[in-house]
Amino acid sequence: MPRWMALLFASIGILLLVGVSFFISLRNPWGVVLCGVAAFLWIGFGFGMKAKMRRKQEALGRQS
């Protein structure tokens, strides 16, 4: 995974987790749940993307 893409996934994930803490401080349960689920999905998507790209690189390495 290129560094810029990893930085993008990490930065957005951090912002979503900051959103969770912000909504906790406001005592807004819907905001906490929304940002928490979004963070969980975003981080999971990032891990999935990384694994997919790694498998693709390994497949290209075997063909050479």
Q: Kindly list the distances between the CA atom of residue 28 and the CA atoms of 2, 8, 15, 40, 46, in Å, as whole numbers in the listed order.
A: 36, 27, 17, 18, 27
Q: What is the pLDDT of residue 64?
A: 62
> In the chain, which stretches have pLDDT less than 50?
none
**pLDDT of the residue at 61:** 83
pLDDT of residue 62: 81
Amino acid at 40: F
Q: Which two tokens stand for residue 47?
A: 């891990």
Give the per-residue pLDDT at 45: 97
